[in-house]
Amino acid sequence: MVLHAELADKSYLFNTGKSFKSYGFLGCHLLDDEQAEFNVWAPNAKKVAVVGDFNNWQDSPLKQIKDTGIWHLVLDGVKAGDLYKFSITGPDGKRALKIDPYATEFEKKPGDAAVVMKPINHKWKDGLWLGRRKRSKALQRPLNIYEVHLGSWRRHEDDSYYSYEEFANELIPYVKQHGYTHVELMPIMEHLLDASWGYQQLGYFATTSRFGTRAEFLNFVEKCHLANIGVIVDWVPGHFIRNYDALYQYDGTPTFEYQDENRADNKRWGAWNFDLGKAQVQSFLISSAMYWLEECHLDGLRVDAVSNMLYLDYDDGKEGLTNKNGDNRNLEGIAFLQKLNQVIHREHPDVLMIAEESSAYKGVTDTVENGGLGFDYKWNLGWMHDTLKFFEMDPVYRCNNFQLLTFAFVYMYNEKFILPFSHDEVVHGKKSLMHKMPGDRYNQFANLRTMMIYLLAFPGKKLRFMGSEWGQFLEWRDWSSLEWVDLKDDMNHKMDIFTTALNEIYHNQRPLWELDHNPEGVVYSNTDDAASSTMGFIRQGKRKHQFVVAAFNFVPVERKKYRIGVPFTGEYELLINTEDERYGGTWTKLETNFTADKTPFHGQPASFTVTLPAMGALLIQPIKLNRG
């Protein structure tokens, strides 16, 4: 049993925003086979009790630890598997049944009672993976992420969910076969509404029961690591589910959310905003992040909706809100994000903290010491939107809109970027990536292959949403499985082969990731030829003789004797041609070898010519250079 003096010390840290593993004492903790300790933060409650299977859902009152806001009880007759809730009586005398904010498992929806759980006793076998992760320098390593929504990746024929165990047996080999380095799971924290995709969270310490138990999820993570696949999970610290039996007005007053209802109410997403300036909320949220990274061995968190935490006026109807300095920054939100990243990186410097941030806020990936937010990476949403807008155009108009591609070269080193083609761009009528492409079916695939080479070659780490690897035609539907039947079609099958080949090239070619965040990583060759809608540039590795040449033709007109400038004379060979018949193209004979002579071109001392395929792209590498 935790003595009150010990609990008071832990409560002090919690109340001052310094308890970063508060899941160790708050919530429900089994002390032995039939005794449990309950602790819950409800500072303004008039009365708190626990109700559950163990007491026939009748009140067992908790006592408040003086001056802490923490209510405490040790209760006999409690066993693993029992369901429970807290009964909270607010200052106005009204009673409400509330979830346990620190529950590590919930009953299956539509119920939301917490489950009494035994402590995690998983005997991890991923030490080799964690050791490599500590030694590796992530910025200089390949990062190629497969974004997955577990509820719709695969389902059974009766439309029931796969289990974590089934995902381990099928998703892991699939990701491995296709050459991705990481999976990024859309939120797997417990949530009630499928249509929220997990972004309106109920449980901040609980894996969703849709797919199985916490133990089965830990097994999934371990098996990913044993297959050399990292696991990133989306996490939502900005806002929480609207349900009144969850965190909203937890003790009968605004507790986790802002006191000001206008600031608390997230109208755009139908949720409640966390009060990020409140010390106890900081302890709660940072503890949640630590739980997933430390107890579940995750390799990173992609923090959702960062812009909503950075700006007071980000939500609908909040125009004109300002801070004490007269601008629209959310000073508490900024301070929280800085604190979050400092704590996480102090404890786990090798995990990845990734920001989904949609504005031009400066310093998202700069250090806190330099005034930045301290994230490792930021999704480059500007690059994504401009690239998709360009490729959706009829090719005849691309020459007049070339800035959609070239503008990103201006700011590509402002932050440490991940280049995403994410779930948000293939849903709600936006069409799938393949369906966005103009022209007939053949040209749609030609455009898609070219765009994927552009993703590969442009500086920044990579992320692609499931289904894009074979060019699914239907846009993403969260309520049903991907259209796996597509792979019986020859074009889809060849697109899938192309993706696997492209990922292998990415993994094996150091210049494509070694200097992603260094201006020396790109050598400009021919990036401004808008008139012909063509582009060429070089991705440079640390060693001067290691580089990859990328050449693009964004219109369906073949370019013979297209000249490409390179730094050395010598012999070069083809890595991939998007028009190779193996990948769905029309070329049965490929130009595979090229000789660079001393003809200067676009600032480079040497060059060679290629036949640039219509609506296609080439990647070429040096094999024997004259470096004298």
179 occurs within a structural domain: no
Kindly state the tokens that stand for 206: 């609980």
As a whole number of angstroms, the distance between CA 524 and CA 606 comes to: 13
Indicate the pLDDT class of residue 628, thresholds 50, 70 and 90: low
pLDDT over threshold 50, residue 537:
yes
- What's the CA gap between 357 and 354, in Å, rounded? 9
Is 158 considered catalytic here? no
Q: Is the pLDDT of residue 472 over 50?
A: yes
Instruction: Please report, for the domain that includes residue 44, its CATH number.
Output: 2.60.40.10
Q: Judge whether 356 counts as a catalytic residue.
A: yes
**Amino acid in the structure at residue 591:** E
- Quote the mean pLDDT of the chain: 96
Q: What is the pTM of this model?
A: 0.96
Name the catalytic one among 100, 184, 234, 356: 356
Whether 559 and 611 have beta carbons less than 8 Å apart is answered as yes
In a domain, 176, yes or no: no
Burial string for 552-588 (b: 16+ CB within 10 Å, else e) reads: bbbbbeebeebbbbbbbbbebebbbbbbbeebbbebe
pLDDT score, position 3: 55
The predicted model gives 397-415 an average pLDDT of 95
Q: For 201-224, how does the pLDDT look when each residue is reduced to its tens digit (9 = 90+)? A: 999 999 999 999 999 999 999 999
What are the C-alpha distances in Å from 296 to residues 205, 231, 445, 584? Answer: 10, 10, 39, 41
Residues 436/482, Cβ–Cβ less than 8 Å: no
pLDDT of residue 2: 47
Average pLDDT (433-462) is 98
**For residue 526, pLDDT beyond 80:** no
Q: Is 568 helix (H, G, I), strand (E, B) or coil?
A: coil
Are the C-beta atoms of 145 and 194 separated by less than 8 Å?
A: no
Sorting pLDDT into bands at 50, 70 and 90, what band is 383?
Answer: very high
At 374, the amino acid letter reads G
Question: Using alpha carbons only, how large is the chain's radius of gyration in Å?
Answer: 27
pLDDT more than 90, % of the chain = 94
Residue 280: which residues within 8 A CB-CB, separation 6 or more?
14, 15, 17, 41, 69
Asked, for residue 180, whether it belongs to a domain, the answer is no
If one counts the domains in the chain, the total is 2
In a domain, 174, yes or no: no
Token representation of residue 392: 């959706």
The predicted structure's pLDDT at residue 583:
98
Q: Which domain holds residue 83?
A: 4-115
Q: How confident is the model at residue 487 (pLDDT cuts 50, 70, 90)?
A: very high
Q: Is the dihedral angle over the CA atoms 94, 100, 348, 185 positive or is it negative?
A: negative
Q: Is the pLDDT of residue 624 over 60?
A: yes
Mean pLDDT along residues 491-508: 98
Residue 411: predicted pLDDT? 95
Q: What is the DSSP letter of 306?
A: H
What whole-number distance in Å separates Cα of residue 125 and Cα of residue 127?
A: 6
Contact in structure between 350 and 138 (CB atoms under 8 Å): yes
Domain assignment present for residue 321? The answer is no
Mean predicted confidence (pLDDT) in 254-259:
97
Q: Residue 250 and residue 248: Cα distance in Å, rounded?
A: 5
User: pLDDT digit string (tens) for 119-171?
Assistant: 999 999 999 999 999 988 888 899 999 999 999 999 999 999 999 999 999 99
pLDDT at 136: 86
Q: Is residue 450 part of a domain?
A: yes
State which of 64, 89, 115 marks the end of a domain.
Answer: 115
Distance CA 345, CA 130 (A): 15
622 pLDDT higher than 90: yes
Using DSSP, state whether 305 is helix, strand or coil: coil
| Separation of alpha carbons 290 and 492, rounded Å | 41
Give the model confidence (pLDDT) of 272-302 as tens digits.
Answer: 999 999 999 999 999 999 999 999 999 999 9
220 belongs to a structural domain: no
- Per DSSP, the three-state class of 442 is helix
- Whole-number pLDDT of residue 186: 96
> CA–CA separation, 428 vs 419, rounded Å?
21
Point out the domain boundary residue: 115, 140, 156. Answer: 115
Kindly report the CA angle at 167 between 163 and 169, in degrees rounded to 5? 115
Q: What is the pLDDT of residue 1?
A: 42
* N residues, the chain: 628
Residue type at 576? I
Helices (H) and strands (E) in the chain, counts: 15, 28
Q: Annotated catalytic residue: which of 304, 332, 425, 516?
A: 304
Give the mean pLDDT of 504-509. 98
Dihedral-angle region of residue 195 (phi above 0 means left; psi in -120 to 50 means alpha; beta otherwise)? alpha
Task: Check which CATH number belongs to the domain holding 584 and give it.
Answer: 2.60.40.1180
- Which tens digits make up the pLDDT trace of 21-65? 999 999 999 998 789 999 999 999 999 999 999 999 999 999 999
- Beta-bridge partner residues of 148: 185
Question: Which two tokens mark 315?
Answer: 């939500």
Among 115, 132, 167, identify where a domain stops. 115
Answer yes or no: is 26 within a domain. Answer: yes
Q: Distance of alpha carbon 620 from its chain centroid, rounded?
A: 31
